[in-house]
Structures are given as structure tokens and as C-alpha cells.
Amino acid sequence: MPSSKGSFFVAMKQFVLERFGAEHWARVMETLPEEERAQIEAATSISWVDVEVRVHALHALQNVLNSRDPNLLTNMGRFEAEKDLSTTQRLFLRLANPGYAMQKAGQYWRRFHDWGGLEVERLSRQEARASVVDSVVADKLWCIQFQAYMGRVFELVGAREVRMEHVKCRARGDDRCVFEGSWK
């Protein structure tokens, strides 16, 4: 079964607890099957969890909390990026440039997923394209969260006026998800 790192669930739980409180975390968890709840609660930053559980968790989060925050998944993606990128990594990547950071994201993909890959292409000094290849996910909510994650990574390494566009999407019938970023 394709898996992703449990760090997503660690960040998701922390995000909900900090912004909405324990009662809302309980409400999100109640909407999921018992087996999935158990996987989420047992997740650690280094554990691996079925990627379908991640998609189901995003839908549960959206269903329960979207009325409280219309930018919920964008905010969640940004929060997760802040948790995943250590201060040391941020400083090192700031010494390079955001394009280099995006190239590194392609290499880091396998640290967080045991499926697919992230192909990165530099379009110019301040533009790049990232394609999720051989993806097992075709889900709009996953893409919203991932787009925000990538945008925040750019900001964390020193980019300003970041724009991330989701130009192709498997959930819309495309063969892969493609994200284009530009920055100053």
C-alpha cells in the first residue's frame, strides 16, 4: 500500500489543536473509520501511514472545519511546511535561492512518500515547475494543501511575492499534477 510519512498527521493534529482546540480535533477524528483513527493517533514523524488515510483525513478536516476557516487547507499546508523545514535547512537554502530549494524538494520527495516522485524544472531564474509523477493520489484537497505547502517553502527560504499555480491536476483528468511557481 502506498504510504506517506506520519509527520503530516503530527502537523495536522498540532494545527487543529492550536487553531481550533481539542474538541474540534475530536470532531474531525469522529468522522473517520476506527481503523484510520488508530493509524492517525499512532502516527509519529518517522512512521509511514497509508496515503489513502491522508486523503480521508484532509476530507474530514475540510468537512468539519471549513466553515470556521475558508482557507483551511491552504493554512494547513503552510503550517505543515513550517514544521517540516528545520531552521538549519531554512538557513542553508536561503544561502542558495528559491529555485535551488525547489530542486531540493524534488530530492526530498522520497523522504516523505514511498510512491511517485517530484520532477522539477527551472523555467527561469525566478520561475520553476514541479510535476508530481507516478502519483497514486488524484484528489483536489490534497493538491490545495500541497500547493500551499510548496508556496510556504519558497517563503521560508527567502522568496518574496511567491505565486504558486496548479496548472494541471489528476483530479481534473490530467495525467499528472503540475505546479508552477514564481517569486522575487
Confidence of residue 93 (pLDDT cuts 50, 70, 90): low
Per-residue burial over 57-94, b if 16 or more Cβ lie within 10 Å, else e, is bbebbbebbeeeeeebbbbbbbbbbbebbeeebeeebe
* 94 — pLDDT class (breaks 50, 70, 90): low
Encode pLDDT of 144-172 as tens digits. Answer: 999 999 999 888 878 899 999 999 999 99
* Percentage with pLDDT > 90 across the chain: 71
Q: With bands split at pLDDT 50, 70 and 90, how would you rate the model's confidence at 86?
A: low
- In angstroms, rounded to a whole number, what is the distance separating the alpha carbons of residues 136 and 42? 23
pTM for the predicted model, two decimal places: 0.90
